[in-house]
Homo-oligomer: A and B are copies of this chain.
């Protein structure tokens, strides 16, 4: 039950909090079985640590952890961008480019994330390495999960992202591998900074 996963985090569990299977089951009005599977998935995503007969403890998630996460994500996605620069076909690039320019006209903030995810997925796909694409998708899901867990503060994509996206697409179109990788790196650095800022804001809010 995927809802359980998000639910587990939407509440404000602080890092180090301990949650047993029965507690979680009671909390979400389901049996232990789906909770158990949800916890296993959360553990595989590195969000909780499962300790035998001790319950699941929610790992701390602050600036340091966020930067570590984005470090790995950057590693994966810059490589994908590098590979995509030689392998992605022009029609896919043009299609995405027009999607982004269309988005700019419409000004729909909620569609930003969707298109962002589409771009990253398309690049991962073009890298022609399903395993790499799978890892990228995993991290995309992870970020999405954390975003929902932290709340709406992270909902706004940073304003410069559109320009960054277009720059990535331009590099891909020009078949410039190094430039594409660098553009992706900078895009993710911006995203990381934005996420860190949001987490800090939430941290402050929780103290009040």
Stretch at the interface among A14-22, A36-44, A108-116: A36-44
Contact B68 A130 (CB under 8 A): yes
Contact B46 A44 (CB under 8 A): no
Interface: A134 (CB within 8 A)? yes
Stretch at the interface among A70-78, A143-151, A154-162, A200-208: A70-78
Contact bitstring A66-100, B, C-beta under 8 A = 1, else 0: 00110110011001000000000000000000000
Count copies of this chain in the complex.
Answer: 2
- Bound: A130/B132 CA distance, A: 20
Interface: A118 (CB within 8 A)? no
Contact B135 A72 (CB under 8 A): yes
Using A37-B37, A37-B40 as known contacts, say yes or no to A132 and B46 having CB atoms under 8 A apart.
Answer: no
Contact B79 A46 (CB under 8 A): no
CB contacts (< 8 Å) of A135 on chain B: these are: 72, 135
CB distance from A77 to the nearest CB of B (A): 11
- Bound: A37/B37 CA distance, A: 7
- Bound: A103/B135 CA distance, A: 35
Within the complex, which residue of B40, B68, B134 is in contact with A40, where a contact is CB–CB below 8 Å? B40
- Bound: A76/B40 CA distance, A: 23
Within the complex, which residue of B41, B71, B131 is in contact with A129, where a contact is CB–CB below 8 Å? B71
Interface residues of A (CB under 8 A from B): 33, 36-37, 40-41, 44, 46, 65, 68-69, 71-72, 75-76, 79, 129-132, 134-135
